[in-house]
Structure 1
Amino acid sequence: MRLKKYTDYALRVLIYTGSLNKGELASIKEISTVFNISQNHLSKIVYQLGKLGIIETVRGRNGGIRLRKAPESINIGEVIRDMEEDFTLIDDFDENTSEHVIMPSYQLRNALDQALLSFFTELDRYTLEDLLAEELAKLQGQDLNEMA
């Protein structure tokens, strides 16, 4: 299974905004520069994250975006479900013949369904807070290495 860049970028936005000091705002331009993502593309992602109630946007000259929810209440599995449109692991329908391609193999379909369920069960164990803790640990490790 492969997640779209759209979802990857949404997670980056959340990690970036989650790493800011409480109440601090980030701009789309700033995030765009840090991750080398088009501002137009980021605007669409930020809009969707806002519609989901995960981030809030502040308009105006000194505006920007910030988390609306606490990092510990943002579930990574839910975010991915909300950002992705399709979780079909294998096309089992041939559009040219209108026949099911893997219909005889219900066991395969069941195995794939179970794999997808396991994928989300694992992702549901993580919150944005978990990802932020990992990022903070990486940064602290870099700081220690730079001091040596």
Structure 2
Amino acid sequence: MWSLASNSLLLSALLTAEPLLSQDRTSHVQTGDYFDQQPPGIQVRLFAPRIISTSDYEHGSPAFSPDGKAVYWSVRLRDIVGREVIRFANRENGQWTSPRTASFSDTTQGDLYPTFSHIFGSNRNGNFDIYWTAASIIDELKFPLRRR
């Protein structure tokens, strides 16, 4: 049985709603788990077309919160070639919010691979490292703490 709590492989990017406005500026209202998509079964299918899988270069590494109320993912922006950011959306009152860049994501360095332990990769300081921050203060931080 497909469930939000299952360890499922998700291919490509993310979500939104309020109404959901994808990067191609198409309005979508998404209320269900995984943006109202039906599980693909044994065949691979594009995830959240025009919402997460958009015309930007690359989307990947979506991480859904254990309660299914938030999702974070990486995206390489066309207007900042070679720079990746971490975006997120929340499920509020049964609908997904429009994707936003996470407050801790540095648009000049390239942030990737979010997880719900708030560990992610970044090219900050000129070398690709793993960064982390406390989940309880994620929205208060401008930059995550670097630990070596």
TM over 0.5: no
Question: Greater share of helix residues, 1 or 2?
Answer: 1
| Structure showing greater relative contact order (alpha-carbon pairs closer than 8 Å, 6 or more residues apart) | 1
Which of these two proteins has the greater Rg computed from alpha carbons? 1
The structure with the greater share of residues assigned to strand is 2
TM class by shorter-chain length?
under 0.3
Scaled by the length of structure 2, what TM-score is found? 0.22
- Normalised by the length of structure 1, the TM-score is 0.22
